[in-house]
Every structure is written in C-alpha cells, then in structure tokens.
Structure 1
Amino acid sequence: MGSANGLYEEVVIAGFGGQGIILAGKLLAQAAMKAGLEVTYMPSYGAEVRGGTANCMVILSNKPIACPIVGAPNALVICNKASLSKFAPRLRPGGWLIFNSSLIEDVHSVPDGVRVIGVPAEELALQAGSPKSTNMVMLGAYLGVWGHLSPQQAAEALADVLAERHHKTIPANSEALRRGAEFTASRV
C-alpha cells in the first residue's frame, strides 16, 4: 500500500470499550515510531465504559504528516458490529476491511473495491493461550495485510505500552500478534 518512496497509511481500529482497542492503536503507533516512521495517533472513546465504543485513528508515513486527521482510511480493523456500520462507508476503494468474524457474521455497507478479510479472532486468541488477546490478534491480522511492520516488531514494543504489572502477558500477546499476522498473510 503506497510505493516504497511514498508510504502513507490511514488506519482506524474500532470496537467496544474493554476490547483493548486503544492499546492496539498505541502499540501500532509505538512499533511504527521505533521503525523510524512518522506517526499520528488519536484515541477516541464513546462512553468511557466497557461496552461503549472506542476507536483510534493512526496515520503512518515515511514523510512528515501534514494533516493528523483521518479522512478516508485505507484500512479498517473492526472488532464489533456497531463500528462496522459507523466506519465501513468511509473506506477508500482499494483499502482493506479486516473484521472479527467471531463476532460479526455478515459485512455490509462496504464501498466497491474494498478488500474484505474475516479473522476468527476469538479462536486464534484461545490458540495463543490468551482469550483476552483478541485485540492483538486483530492488530497482527492488519500487520499481515499491510506488510510494512512485522508482528515481531510490534511484540518488541509491547513493554513500552503495557503497564509493568501486565508485562507477564507479553509472551501470550506476542503469540496472538504472530497468529493474527500468519492468518491474513496466507490469504492476501
């Protein structure tokens, strides 16, 4: 997505509060910065409670970013139904819609020319040994499609974004990132 000399990616990650959406966006931003990319990161909470909506917009580029606002995203990582209806219509043709097929059966309101891939995030998180790491599976799935950052690079940034008391979850989260990336990379 974007040639080597002009990398510019607008990503929206969206789902319920409590699904780890903001953490996934923060991790993507941190891993991209460590890799030397320019990054903007904007979290947004609906109602700041579990079950409310949460999303974050991340822009990744190899040049300074003029406008930090996501207009029409190239990629959408969707973890619940409500977020699908809200963001899918804004996707850019040629973009990617990566959705959690454990929670969403059918995908609708997707513009023509958008590539759609369903990820059984709950099952993959269980296989990774951590039912709570569906957010990492979904982020890994995006990395597998995007191809400019490896799940390993994201895993190496986990210690930067997780509170010290959660560092014991790093191995399971790293495994979840890897499984998500493997799942989509084999389907792209």
Structure 2
Amino acid sequence: MKKEILIAGFGGQGVMSIGKSMVEAGATEGLEVSWVPSYGPEMRGGSANCYVVLSDERIGAPVFSEWEEFIAMNMVALNKFLPKLKEGGILFVNSDVVTKEVERDDITLYKIPCDSIAAELGNSKVANMVMLGAYAKATGNLKIETLEEMVRHMFSGRKAKLIQINLDALAKGVECID
C-alpha cells in the first residue's frame, strides 16, 4: 500500500495539522511516512498545502506531481489541484466552502460539512479534525483508535481541555461516512 495525498486550503484551516496528524498516526501504525509542507507568502489566509505519503514500503520521493487522494478545504485549492487527481482517486471537500459541483465521474467524492460541524461543536478550529475523521473512515488508511490516542497525547498539559472537542470532531467526521 502506498498512498500519495495532497491536502490544500487557506492558511489557518488546519491543512498542515491534518497532514502532520496523518504522518504521526501512520508512523505509530508502523507505516513509512513523509510530510512536505508548502506555504503561500501570507501567514494566515494565504495558500497552504502539504504532500503526505503513507506506505508500507520505503518511500522514494516525498513530493509527487499527481495524487490518489485529495483533501480540498476551499475553492481555490479545488480549482488549482483537482486536475492532477488521478483517475479512480478519492476527493474530500469541505462542502461548507467548496460549493462548486465537481464534474468528474472517474473519482469518488466525499462532501464533508466541516465548518458547520465545527460550529455545532462550538469551535471553528476543529474543522480539520472533522475532515481527518472522515478521511480515516472512508479510506481505511489509518485507524480511528490511533488518531484518538494521538489527540490525547497531542493535547496534554494546559491544552488538555481541548482533548474532548477534538475527539468529538473526529467522531463527527466518521459519522459523515457511516
């Protein structure tokens, strides 16, 4: 198994956090992993994307020109990167922001209302965790239990109060696929 994944959106949407979470969970599960971030010139609100590779074999190159799985957190990302999603690939869109219909019948599409779910949970910053939960459930590339344990570890000490809302966001993302 080797999955080449592109995650893209605006800075501040948690794009890099999704990617880092994927590689941390993948490494915990014994996979070979790679994470390559790319930022626009602005700190927040500019373009942000990252390349993630999850593999059960050694990874030759951490950057790729086409991808099998694509997470688009906004319209700019969708318009820019959709043409390079391979035939038979999987597309995840934040349907609260990506309102354009995807006109490809050679891919699998998941529309996840990340922002709405995060707002219902009371914290807009967990939209990325909603997407991560949906991604893990739909692809089976990562175990939900591993992601939950990672959240518990990541938000320790004074950030411990954020554990439950992040776990809830993951669970809501999983429910989007069920």
Same fold per superposition (TM over 0.5): yes
Q: Which runs of 4+ in 1 moved over 3 A?
A: 159-167
Q: Secondary structure at the match of 1:19?
A: coil
What percent identity do the matched residue pairs reach?
Answer: 38
Q: Write the distance in 2 (CA, Å) between the matches of 1:29 and 1:124.
A: 24
Residue 34 of structure 2 is aligned with which of 23, 26, 40? 40
| Corresponding residue for residue 23 of structure 2 | 29
Structure 2: 5+ residue stretches without partners: none
Q: Secondary structure at the match of 2:111?
A: strand
Q: How many residues align?
A: 178
| Corresponding residue for residue 121 of structure 2 | 128
Q: Which amino acid letter does the alignment assign opposite residue 150 of structure 1?
A: K
In structure 2, relative to structure 1, the CA distance for the partners of 1:162 and 1:48 (3 Å cut) is farther
Deviates more, 1:173-182 or 1:73-82: 173-182
Q: Which amino acid letter does the alignment assign opposite residue 136 of structure 1?
A: M
Q: Secondary structure at the match of 1:32?
A: helix
Q: How does 1:69-148 map to 2 (within 5 A)?
A: 69-108=63-102, 111-148=104-141
Q: Write the distance in 2 (CA, Å) between the matches of 1:129 and 1:26.
A: 23
Q: Secondary structure at the match of 1:95?
A: strand
Deviates more, 1:161-170 or 1:26-35: 161-170
Q: Write the distance in 2 (CA, Å) between the matches of 1:29 and 1:160.
A: 15
In structure 2, relative to structure 1, the CA distance for the partners of 1:134 and 1:15 (3 Å cut) is same
**Aligned-residue CA RMSD (Å):** 1.8
In structure 2, relative to structure 1, the CA distance for the partners of 1:180 and 1:144 (3 Å cut) is same
More strand by share: 2
Asked whether the equivalents of residues 152 and 178 of structure 1 are also in contact (C-alpha less than 8 Å), the reply is no
Q: Secondary structure at the match of 1:173?
A: helix
Matched, 1:59 2:74: no
Asked whether the equivalents of residues 130 and 173 of structure 1 are also in contact (C-alpha less than 8 Å), the reply is no
Q: Secondary structure at the match of 2:67?
A: coil
Q: Write the distance in 1 (CA, Å) between the matches of 2:176 and 2:135.
A: 10
Q: Write the distance in 2 (CA, Å) between the matches of 1:162 and 1:88.
A: 33
Cα deviation, 1:34-65, whole Å, max 9, x if unaligned, reads 01100010011112421101111100001111
Structure 1: 5+ residue stretches without partners: 1-6
TM-score (norm 1): 0.87
Asked whether the equivalents of residues 51 and 62 of structure 2 are also in contact (C-alpha less than 8 Å), the reply is no
Q: Secondary structure at the match of 2:24?
A: helix
Residue 14 of structure 1 is aligned with which of 5, 8, 16? 8
TM-score (norm 2): 0.91
Question: How much has 1:150 moved relative to structure 2?
Answer: 2.4
Q: Write the distance in 2 (CA, Å) between the matches of 1:101 and 1:52.
A: 20
Residue 175 of structure 1 is aligned with which of 156, 164, 168? 168
